[in-house]
Amino acid sequence: MTEPTNDRIHKVLDGDLDADDLSPAEQREMTRVASASTEAATHLGRLRSPGLAGAVMNEIERRTGVSPDSTGTRGSWVRALWAPRTVAFRPAWGLLAAAVIAALILVPSGESPPAPTSDAEGVTVFVQFRLHAPDASEVRLAGTFTDWEPVHELHPVGDGAWSVMVPMHPGIHDYAFIVDGTDWTLDPTAPRVDDGFGGENSRLALLLVNGARES
């Protein structure tokens, strides 16, 4: 159906050849091709998304349970709670470290005695998962926090180690690594629990300390 354009013309349009190297006939054809492409690109460029910023932020709010648009004293603190932080926390550090991190996040300095928080979903902590798998070509993470879908891809960080940072809410989370798509692997640094099907999962406990407060 389509008559192929002289490849030299496409090279000029791609910046791989100078237009001065084209013959006058080629230059006329190039103008036709460029004109049609520009018309099409301009036409497509008028397509606009329906405006999704509000929907995205609402979905984030729904998942975290706290609005990023809250205002006022409480709102600003809630917003600070809601904000994810790049805290390099390892599951192997266990409950104590989790409690310390939660306390660091939740207890503001110099504030009057605050009321206890009841909304653990409003806290997001970035947890670093790490596995030594020097022979792997791909490592993923799945757990109760992903409905066991291997959505988190670990990245090689040198010396055979793979790592990923995952935003998580406080709670008890079971998980496993999936090496090269098929090999479900436990975290050697984490406690193991019965998965109810004759196997085991790794377990991470991210718990808020009793003294955690919001202002």
Q: Which is nearer to another protein, 58 or 185 (CB)?
A: 58
CB 80 within 8 Å of CB 104: no
Question: Which residues are CB-neighbours of 208 under 8 A, at least 6 positions away?
Answer: 99, 102, 106, 117, 120, 123, 170
Spatial distance between the Cα atoms of 27 and 162, rounded to a whole number of angstroms: 53
Per-residue binding string, another protein, 189-208, x by CB under 8 A, is --------------------
**From CA 181, how far away is CA 115, in angstroms rounded?**
46
Q: Which stretch binds another protein (CB under 8 A): 57-65, 114-122, 175-183, 187-195?
A: 57-65
Q: Which stretch binds another protein (CB under 8 A): 54-62, 106-114, 169-177, 195-203?
A: 54-62
171 lines the binding site for another protein (CB under 8 A): no
- Footprint of another protein on residues 112-131 (CB under 8 A)? 126
- Per the DSSP assignment, residues forming a β-bridge with 131 are 162
Q: Which is nearer to another protein, 88 or 100 (CB)?
A: 88
Q: Which residues contact 28 (CB under 8 A, 6 or more apart)?
A: none
CA 98 – CA 170 distance, rounded (Å): 9
Interface residues with another protein (CB under 8 A)? Answer: 1-5, 7, 10, 13-14, 28, 31-33, 35-41, 43-57, 59-60, 63, 68-69, 79-80, 82-86, 126, 152-153, 155, 164-167
